[in-house]
Amino acid sequence: MKQVQKPKKPLIVYYLIALAALILINWVIFPMMTQGNITEVDYGTFLTMVENKEVSKVQLEGETIYFTDKNENPQQYETTRFEDPDLVNRLVESGCEFGRVAEEEMNPWLSLLLSLVIPIIIFIALGQLLSRQLMKKMGGGEGGGPFMQFGKSNAKVYVQSETGITFNDVAGEDEAKELLTEIVDFLHNPQKYQEIGAICPKGALLVGPPGTGKTLLAKAVAGEAGVPFFSISGSEFVEMFVGMGASKVRDLFKQANEKAPCIVFIDEIDTIGKKRDSQGFAGNDEREQTLNQLLTEMDGFDASKGVVILAATNRPDTLDPALLRPGRFDRRIPVELPDLKGREEILKVHAKKVRLGDDVDFNAIARAASGASGAELANMVNEAALRAVRENRKYVTQSDLEESIEVVIAGYQKKNSVLSTKEKLIVAYHEIGHALVAALQTNSAPVTKITIIPRTSGALGYTMQVDSEERNLMSKEEIENKIATLTGGRCAEELVFGSITTGASNDIEQATKLARAMITRFGMSDRFGMVALETQANPYLGGDSSLSCSPETAAHIDDMVVNAVKEAYDKAMNLLRENQGKLHELAKYLYDRETITGDEFMEILNQRDLADTEIRNEDSENGNSGNTESGENTAAKLTIENE
Ligand code: ADP
Ligand code: MG
Ligand code: ZN
């Protein structure tokens, strides 16, 4: 996609040219026209010629005297006047004509031309130049006069050799690839379809969360199809002038029709394809016009000619229904977040470009990076390579990749953090609280890593859980366990220190969200059963949801959410209380090491020592207050030890 850009002359150049033209006219052309051939003589000569009656006509202009002699081809002279009161008498005596320079000396047409027409011409020329510059800035294509550029679509045309991206560069997303392959096949062998009477889909809409490879897929289609590929982003239709969007759409389809068979790709189509709603004020007429034009064009062209329209969006819910009906974007291709296998493949695709150590295990990385999008995975591989360079290694190791997952999820390590000893201790207990609750609940995934090294994202520490296998469903019990795990951090703080901190804000948010979703969306409450009380507006971006129930129900839901989280909290608290010995042991271990692996964690957890049982017995005798106290004591001891 090389686009050679002509070097733009700065505007000032044109101003200078115009100025030079004006100066030229003033200094060279004007004097030339008025002067003709004038001989300059002195005043004495003039007087002599007057006395000899050789002068036929005299004209005064200020101090200058122009005069003509009486020769066959009269010669013009010029002289400068002296203080000469007798001049008039002398002229009368000699009998020549005299007077002041007449205003209409110059040809009236010529003067009109000079004073009016030329400036107008200059202005028009300047205006043209300016508008041409403007059009260039707004990305008008080549060809056509300067004013013909308005409304040109500036779609980039790719041809196969230029993108160099094929389906091999897109890992995972097999279903999407399959559906797109059919379209490519249609462009290659249209007769195969026509014989049966099948009509190829006119358009396909790629929908999915950001970074899952929608744009990449479209480019791969261009690479595979070997036909011209027009790529334009929805936002490029939005222009400074009203009506430009529509005319760009028209132009895009005109170009596409000329180049058929070809593919037109409109990225981020939601910019122009938003629902046209009647509410509110005048709305956005310009956008509606553009959309209408797009709808018209999509109806207008003949699919059998081989123009296929691809579009991508991560907000399918906002699209106008008219766009989605059969005959327009009648094929919807979901491009979802990659599953475990997909993640592994994506990692491999991107790791092809980096040198790898022998110990790299993509499966493990893919498992740890659950929920990551293709773009994030690509980023992880790159971060790992950067880390390897930073540490002067020649290849990327497994630990580079592991660290880069954390970098992508939680940001970089804050090397010289300013956590006080007490804070660090609280964080250690908090994280062990999460991990312990997770491990003690039968269905919770084992922790893989716990760290209390602060990250640039603001996390002071975190527990990484990796599911051993991919899961798509979560049972009610698992959700409840997860909520309990989330509350585990705060529980440990309260249990050990008797006071609570702000460190749990993120946990609280997540726990609340889960508890609420259980009731309003997953139908997991006894009271409401399978009634949807909330609808999710956009599944791909953040998932804002809106409540659709009466205020009383809403109040009730709130109560139930509070209860659900509270129950989970109590459950976590009990678990920690029962395993207080382990809690202290593990927290101290983490405090010393700052980062521990899941295996180390499990090893310590599984060494059931006597102390633990003793403490437990003590707990059951003493009740709550006793617990907190003993916790505080241990914590205090621990602090002293480490100071
Ligand atoms: P979007 O879906 O937001 O359009 P992009 O197609 O722009 O995402 O993907 C961004 C980048 O992420 C790509 O350039 C590519 O490097 C990487 N990527 C995303 N998905 C995949 C995938 N399935 N296979 C390989 N790389 C991918
Ligand atoms: Mg994109
Ligand atoms: Zn936490």
**pLDDT tens digits for range 472-524:** 788 898 899 989 999 999 999 999 999 988 888 889 999 999 999 888 888 88
Segment 42-53 shows an average pLDDT of: 83
Cα-only R_g, the chain:
42
378 or 91, greater pLDDT: 378
C-beta of 268 in contact with ligand 1 (< 6 A):
no
C-beta of 165 in contact with ligand 1 (< 6 A):
no
Per residue in 451-484, pLDDT (tens digit) is: 888 877 777 777 777 666 666 788 898 899 989 9
C-beta of 386 in contact with ligand 1 (< 6 A):
no
Residues, Cβ < 5 Å to ion ligand 3: 489, 507
Q: Find the length of the chain.
A: 643
- Report CA torsion sign: 618, 619, 624, 629: positive
173, 236, 345, 431: the catalytic one is: 431
Q: How confident is the model at residue 2 (pLDDT cuts 50, 70, 90)?
A: very low
DSSP state of 27: I
35 or 196, greater pLDDT: 196
C-beta of 382 in contact with ligand 1 (< 6 A):
no
Residue 373 Cα to ligand 2 midpoint, Å, equals: 12
Segment 331-338 shows an average pLDDT of: 88
Rounded CA gap, 122 and 496, in Å? 85
Q: What's the whole-number average pLDDT of the chain?
A: 79
Per residue in 525-573, pLDDT (tens digit) is: 888 888 888 877 766 766 667 777 888 888 999 999 999 999 999 999 9
Rounded CA gap, 576 and 106, in Å? 108
What confidence score (pLDDT) does residue 146 get?
Answer: 41
DSSP state of 336: P
Is 404's pLDDT higher than 80?
yes
Is 9's pLDDT higher than 70?
no
What confidence score (pLDDT) does residue 147 get?
Answer: 45
Atom of ligand 1 nearest to the CA of 169: 25
Q: Which two tokens stand for residue 441?
A: 């609940």
Q: 331-334 and 545-547: which strand pairing? A: unpaired
Is 626's pLDDT higher than 50?
no
Which run of H or of E encompasses 203? strand 203-207
Rounded CA gap, 148 and 9, in Å? 20
**Contact present, 234 and 271 (Cβ < 8 Å):** yes
What confidence score (pLDDT) does residue 152 get?
Answer: 61
Rounded CA gap, 354 and 400, in Å? 12
What confidence score (pLDDT) does residue 303 get?
Answer: 66
Share of the chain above pLDDT 70, in %: 80
Closest CA to 589 of 573, 604, 599: 604
**Contact present, 366 and 340 (Cβ < 8 Å):** yes
C-beta of 173 in contact with ligand 1 (< 6 A):
yes
Residue nearest ligand 1's atom 6 by CA: 213
Residue 333 Cα to ligand 2 midpoint, Å, equals: 14
Q: How confident is the model at residue 347 (pLDDT cuts 50, 70, 90)?
A: very high
395: Cβ–Cβ under 8 A, 6 or more apart, which residues? 354, 355, 356, 357, 388
DSSP state of 595: E
467: Cβ–Cβ under 8 A, 6 or more apart, which residues? 367, 370, 445
97 is catalytic: no
pTM above 0.75, yes or no: no
Which run of H or of E encompasses 64? strand 64-69
